[in-house]
Structure 1
Amino acid sequence: MPDAMETMQTLIEEINKHNYLYYTLDQPSISDAEYDALYAKLVELEAETGTVLPHSPTQRVGGELLKGFEPHRHLSRLWSLDKAQNRDDLMAWYQRAQKLVDQYNAQNPENLLPPLSFVVELKFDGLTLNLTYDRGELVQAATRGNGVVGEGILPQVKTIKSIPLQIPYKEGVIEVQGEGIMNLSVLDAYNRTAAEPLKNARNAAAGALRNLNPKVTAERKLNAYFYNVGYSDALKFRDHQEMVAFLRDNRFKVSPMVKFLNSIDAVADELEKLAEMRDTFDFLIDGLVVKINDMRTRDVLGYTDKFPRWAVAYKFEAEEAVTTLLGVTWNVGRTGKVTPLARVEPVDIGGVTVQNCTLNNIEDIERKNLKYGLGSLVYIRRSNDVIPEILGKVTDEADGEEIVAPDTCPSCGHALEKKGPHLFCTNRLDCRPQLVGRITHFASRDAMDIETFSEKTAEQLYDTLGVRDPSDLYYLTFEDLIGLERFGQKKAENLIAAIEKSKQPDLASFLYGLGIPNTGKTTTKELADHYRSLEKLMQATPEELVTLPDIGGIVADSIVGFFQDPTMRRSIERLLAAGVKPVSEEAPAVVDEDNPFFGKTVVLTGTLSSMSRDEAAKKLEKLGAKVMGSVSKKTDIVIAGESAGSKLTKAQELGIRIIDDEEELKRLLGEA
């Protein structure tokens, strides 16, 4: 047996080496027949010994059907990128970054940031992957999800032969980000024999990686490119060039078109050149990414709420096509807005079959000369390569049938009201799509986060149980649900449990779930942070509200009008009566200025066992601390939990006070 195990280990190392040469470097060193002989020998030995060693390539064929995807919390957030549509947008991004660098250098003459230099990369069009390696072993793979929590897809990712199951770096834990794709040549070969041809490479890759049967994933013969180390508990890179070298050294497939440039003009020229080459690649790209090369500069620039300030996505001009406008339907949203949707003769744009297109409102229809456009040829494009929209008619003549805006709601028949360029159904009590949309929004992840809830669930509850308002959800019983179609015992129990679990939301999420007109997540968080009480907010006047940042007269009137609406007040009263209690702790009237955190700039890093980082941040802010996301010379204290990484290292280099004992932290917070 020891001899067989040793032979198997040797075969695994040999086969994995040839996989790396073939799938990652595109440099095969042996013939297919020789590779097949090695693989067959390994399969034979595994059958004889009844043992499959870790990292065996035989595991890549896909295992048994999975029951579902488990959520996976990323060790470091996966950020979205701000967009630049043209050279002017690119220059505006550059000027903002340069201004911040100049400000920093003026304040830190002894520690200047280097002149800005850049990296330009391809923006692959597939499914974002986040891989976790622990001491060199691939232990998890996940989708991007919402950037904080994704879906675990390790069995599916293991079928991609260009992804290493082991890497040489074995010092600690790292997260590596990339894109799972299907090469266009592979798609073409697949479709030649497929019973159901795949529409495009993007959907083929995403569908395969989110398929519960890993064998289906394996059949798609996917590929993957990697571009970022998003988390490490030990590594620190000087610049992006060093990071790319690390990825290559650890057998990750890196983009063939990574360009390092020293001026923004050179970047603009490179973007133009690569945009012209997009159709020559054997994979889809939907743009390019520009990043600042130096890592210290990235730390100084930091992040907005949504994007890193040190990177921008340069989106290609949308692809256009000509087709026939067949009809227009009018759809009602949760706010009552009635929006036209155009139906066109199906046409292929960039591998996607387009049948429906956006039209914003009746004024948009008239502006695009579509008033008499039914049956006429129109120009359409996929804005940002995603959302199809009609640009206008091919001819100027009124040669088609008239598009007539409705006078009454297409769903409930109620008279429509025109507000600016938009039509609204004001029947908030008995208009099905409004009520279903409002309930679905209320239950969504960013609002009350009622797990397992969907729009289909809202529709079913509306039609069968008379659920008309979000508050009705909290009066449902197991007996109500168990008799419904597609509701077995487990599904009914799960939904009741999820509704019960949602009863103590934070105030910002609760306010967002209410769907106050003209407010989004940023505004509702601002309201929650300022008032810290639902009751106080409901009593606020427009004059008070306009004193808050980013709240103007229109938004203030919307908020006040919403809470004065008897229907909305009744809904809120029923929610509270059902046991919904938004977390709205009052801010302390007086902050103890003698506490150790008052007036201090604090950075949290790593994982705390007794509380989340968000909870710790709120406690620190209540004591008068300013909680920041990155370490600099202005940082006073760094609180380091488990797996603290580069922020802890930087704090040690700068001689900043570090609190790495949770008992000490709780004592300083006044909790021990």
Structure 2
Amino acid sequence: MTSAHSGSSPRHADPDENPYVESPLTDFEPVAELSEPEAAEQASLLRAAVREHDYRYYVEADPLIPDETYDRLFARLEELEDAFDLSTENSPTRRVGGEPLDELETVEHVAPMRSIDNATEADAVREFDERVRRGLDAEGFDPDAVEYVCEPKFDGLSVEVVYEDGEYVRAATRGDGREGDDVTEQVRTIRSVPGKLRGDAPARLAVRGEAYMPRDAFAAYNEELMERGEEPFANPRNAAAGTLRQLDPSVVAERPLEVFFFDVLGWENDGEGSSVERPDTHWAEFDAFDAFGLRRTDRVERVDDIEGALDYRDRLMADREDLNFAIDGVVISVDDRAHREALGSTARAPRWAFAYKFPPRTATTTVEGVTVQVGRTGRLTPVAELEPVEVGGVTVSRATLHNPAEIEALGVNVGDRVRIYRAGDVIPYVPEVVEKRSEGTYAFPETCPVCDAPVERDGPLAFCTGGLGCPAQLERAVEHWARRDALDIEGLGPERVEQLREAGLVASLPDLYDLTVDDLAALEGWGETSAENLIAELDATRDPPLDDFLAGLGIPDVGATTARALAAHFGGLDAVLDADEGALREVDDVGPEVAESIRTFLDADENRAAIEGLRERGVDPEPVEVETGDALDGLTFVFTGSLSTTRSEAQAHVEAHGADATSSVSGNTDYLVAGESPGRSKRDDADAKGVPVVDEAEFADLLGERGVAWPPEGDE
């Protein structure tokens, strides 16, 4: 059995050549006294040093310098890049987050990201071993020579990360295994993901990792959410998935995500200087990860038979509660790559890997009470208050009951003995009543526990009808109004919103625009300058773009993309307010459920009063003018890879000039436009169907011949 890798790896910065690595001096000369070459040289040294410090802190957990020294180095780098326009694509300063995205694009993976067959029984694992041995024997290999690599099965979000010439270029979620959401800017903010690989790297490297939220950070973040009156994440996996799908990278940068890398999806050399050969075994790939500076778990072992793998699983399960990351089993995979290639894969899963999952964890306890929480959208969530009980080494005193329909299905009430289920580190829930000790079923409240407004049922769910008049929803509504992907009001965070409400200054969204400098300056923690700044920020939003206004209202199912579609379709606020469900369904991407959600929100008296109150205070969104043409009439385009603009903008641009833009290649497709790092499947489909493939420059020429500018100039 082998359980550790060893060997030194190259560094991002050599302390003998870089003064900012060990015991750095941070008494910098004023930026104004530097020449541009001097600033560029210092910025280059600082980038390398910060990468080294990031690696030592986030990957090796062995920092070289105190946090305050690191902060001064980082701030100096930001200062130089801003003063001399020296920022680079993969500078460490990009980790603080870039501009908000309009939507998550879909990109093809370098290679399929398959699922893994799994079971919770040891016999199923032994059967896997027998299949492996039979398969190797049939391919002419010695079945007794098989070795397995065992590693934790992380319970996070699987991501593909791509490097070209050692530089970070792309990241995507697993999606359906062939395509996933482009989360390049979001993953760029995660400090355990290097923007530049250490040492020599292949020309193109695609690696698979697991994004996760450490358990201690998850607990602290959930506590923060609950203190703000927001619904906590159910488990670390949901927290990771919800974070990576944020359209604003700066939000991701503020959340405590980490990544472990565990597999190679693609390893290519270009024959022009890069000759780093891919290792022959999975075990050796971990050594390569170390050399490249890619963070991986140290809880990996190599064993020479399946019984060793079973033993590894039992030991890891015993240590499960002591780990700072969520796992739900172990992955057992054939080590030798030649063996893997001989065994191959099914359409869904590789034949050379198997997941031995942990059993779920349950316990029995008594329901001592039920609390009903109110979320930002008004959704009411019942929570069972329990007699504390230990479940899998964790003391549980609360469990979700999901919704009123779940309570009715269980027939649960205060005093009943219930089973608590906790698996994969999810928030515990109640799957059944094991002993009925009460009479009847818990009566779900008919009015909101916060504002006393009537409660309405929508299928299995319940909602407070108080809308923006409900204090629980108001704070969240004001925070939503101020978000960067809405009205972008700096200085209006959760703590200040709560302070304004508690001071009686903001009892509704329009009240924001009645605030004065004197009102704010009188509050604790405010000064004249901060008060003036917020009033200026608010005044700047009195003539917002229509899509920002609609996104800021917090209409369920209406994010920035749908808001933009509504604005483009209707042109003005009154047209949106007057549109019935049929008219709303004519908008791209607005189906029956979203149309009903929009209409229900706009018909609520409290919400309509808030909108009219905003307009009375001079907050009136600017109408939208949409120009269309027919220069591309009759053409159908499909886009793949990264372009100089987002895929949605490219699609909207060609559609505005009469073309069709579809997501998959068919016999009706006229051109496949391939940007940087395109996936394989669309190119293969284009080759099979005889569809021309053009790069972005050829695409620009094609449009130019028809009088259409590329890239879009923003006037469609």
When normalised by structure 2's length, the TM-score is 0.54
Hey, what does 1:103 align to over in structure 2? none
The answer as to 2:317 corresponding to 1:279 is yes
In 1, the alpha carbon distance for the partners of 2:484 and 2:357 equals 28
Equivalent position amino acid for 2:636 in 1: K
In 1, the alpha carbon distance for the partners of 2:182 and 2:200 equals 30
Hey, what does 2:626 align to over in structure 1? 586
In 2, the alpha carbon distance for the partners of 1:638 and 1:645 equals 14
The answer as to 2:210 corresponding to 1:171 is no
SS at match of 2:384: strand
Post-superposition shift, 1:434? 2.9
In 1, the alpha carbon distance for the partners of 2:420 and 2:659 equals 52
Post-superposition shift, 1:422? 5.8
558 and 227 in structure 1: CA distance in 2 versus 1, 3 angstrom threshold: same
Hey, what does 2:637 align to over in structure 1? 601
Aligned 1:448-487 pairs, distance under 5 A: 448=487, 450=489, 453-464=492-503, 466-474=505-513, 476=515, 480-487=519-526
2:364 to 312, 322, 332: 322
In 2, the alpha carbon distance for the partners of 1:352 and 1:506 equals 49
Give ranges in structure 2 of 5+ residues lacking alignment: 9-13, 26-44, 76-94, 120-149, 175-180, 217-234, 241-257, 272-277, 303-309, 333-339, 349-354
146 and 123 in structure 1: CA distance in 2 versus 1, 3 angstrom threshold: farther
The answer on whether the counterparts of 1:330 and 1:339 sit within 8 Å (CA) in structure 2 is yes
2:434 to 386, 390, 394: 394
In 1, the alpha carbon distance for the partners of 2:583 and 2:411 equals 44
Hey, what does 1:310 align to over in structure 2? none
Query: What whole-Å deviation, never above 9, does each CA across 1:550-609 have from its counterpart, x for those lacking one?
Result: 978776555445434454334334545645536744363xx42x44x752314264352x
1:435 to 455, 474, 478: 474
The answer as to 2:658 corresponding to 1:624 is yes
The answer as to 2:694 corresponding to 1:657 is yes
The answer on whether the counterparts of 1:317 and 1:384 sit within 8 Å (CA) in structure 2 is no
2:406 to 360, 364, 382: 364
1:224 to 242, 260, 272: 260
SS at match of 1:355: strand
353 and 658 in structure 1: CA distance in 2 versus 1, 3 angstrom threshold: same
2:97 to 62, 66, 71: 71
1:378 to 418, 438, 453: 418
394 and 247 in structure 1: CA distance in 2 versus 1, 3 angstrom threshold: same
Equivalent position amino acid for 2:639 in 1: V
The answer on whether the counterparts of 1:331 and 1:340 sit within 8 Å (CA) in structure 2 is yes
Hey, what does 1:61 align to over in structure 2? 63
Post-superposition shift, 1:669? 2.2
Aligned 1:140-539 pairs, distance under 5 A: 147=183, 149-150=185-186, 166-169=198-201, 171=203, 177-179=209-211, 224-227=260-263, 249=288, 251=290, 252=294, 279=317, 284-286=326-328, 318-350=360-392, 352-371=394-413, 373-374=414-415, 376-382=416-422, 385-398=425-438, 403=442, 405-406=444-445, 408-413=447-452, 425-428=464-467, 430-444=469-483, 447-448=486-487, 450=489, 453-464=492-503, 466-474=505-513, 476=515, 480-487=519-526, 510-516=549-555, 527=566, 530-531=569-570, 533-539=572-578
Query: What whole-Å deviation, never above 9, does each CA across 1:316-375 have from its counterpart, x for those lacking one?
Result: 77532223323222233345454422222344445654332212445533432322x33x
In 2, the alpha carbon distance for the partners of 1:448 and 1:482 equals 23
Query: What whole-Å deviation, never above 9, does each CA across 1:193-252 have from its counterpart, x for those lacking one?
Result: xxxxxxxx979x99xxxxxxxxxxxxxxx99333366999989xxxx9999797765545
Post-superposition shift, 1:386? 1.9
Aligned 1:636-647 pairs, distance under 5 A: 636-637=670-671, 644-646=676-678
Mean alpha-carbon deviation: is it higher for 612-621 or for 63-72? Answer: 63-72
274 and 528 in structure 1: CA distance in 2 versus 1, 3 angstrom threshold: farther
SS at match of 2:428: strand
RMSD between aligned residues: 6.5
The answer on whether the counterparts of 2:474 and 2:507 sit within 8 Å (CA) in structure 1 is yes
The answer on whether the counterparts of 1:378 and 1:393 sit within 8 Å (CA) in structure 2 is yes
Query: What whole-Å deviation, never above 9, does each CA across 1:639-665 have from its counterpart, x for those lacking one?
Result: 566xx2235998699552333279758
In 2, the alpha carbon distance for the partners of 1:581 and 1:453 equals 20
166 and 606 in structure 1: CA distance in 2 versus 1, 3 angstrom threshold: same
Hey, what does 2:4 align to over in structure 1? 26
Mean alpha-carbon deviation: is it higher for 440-449 or for 491-500? Answer: 491-500
The answer on whether the counterparts of 1:531 and 1:537 sit within 8 Å (CA) in structure 2 is yes
Post-superposition shift, 1:82? 12
Give ranges in structure 1 of 5+ residues lacking alignment: 1-21, 31-38, 89-119, 185-200, 207-221, 260-271, 302-312
In 2, the alpha carbon distance for the partners of 1:502 and 1:146 equals 31
Post-superposition shift, 1:473? 3.6
Identity of paired residues, percent? 29
430 and 440 in structure 1: CA distance in 2 versus 1, 3 angstrom threshold: same
SS at match of 2:367: strand
502 and 370 in structure 1: CA distance in 2 versus 1, 3 angstrom threshold: same
In 1, the alpha carbon distance for the partners of 2:100 and 2:266 equals 10
Higher RCO (CA < 8 A, seq sep 6+): 2
Equivalent position amino acid for 1:369 in 2: G
The answer on whether the counterparts of 1:83 and 1:315 sit within 8 Å (CA) in structure 2 is no
Q: How many residues align?
A: 532
In 2, the alpha carbon distance for the partners of 1:49 and 1:552 equals 58
Hey, what does 1:8 align to over in structure 2? none
In 1, the alpha carbon distance for the partners of 2:554 and 2:24 equals 62
Equivalent position amino acid for 2:497 in 1: A
The answer as to 2:577 corresponding to 1:541 is no
383 and 466 in structure 1: CA distance in 2 versus 1, 3 angstrom threshold: farther
Query: What whole-Å deviation, never above 9, does each CA across 1:26-50 have from its counterpart, x for those lacking one?
Result: 14479xxxxxxxx999999x97999
Hey, what does 2:128 align to over in structure 1? none
In 2, the alpha carbon distance for the partners of 1:472 and 1:415 equals 24
Query: What whole-Å deviation, never above 9, does each CA across 1:262-310 have from its counterpart, x for those lacking one?
Result: xxxxxxxxxx9999997268764247899xx99xxx9x99xxxxxxxxx
Post-superposition shift, 1:169? 1.4
The answer on whether the counterparts of 1:407 and 1:415 sit within 8 Å (CA) in structure 2 is yes
The answer on whether the counterparts of 2:165 and 2:203 sit within 8 Å (CA) in structure 1 is yes
In 1, the alpha carbon distance for the partners of 2:425 and 2:419 equals 15
In 2, the alpha carbon distance for the partners of 1:78 and 1:258 equals 35
Post-superposition shift, 1:618? 1.9
SS at match of 1:603: strand
Hey, what does 1:264 align to over in structure 2? none
In 2, the alpha carbon distance for the partners of 1:515 and 1:43 equals 50
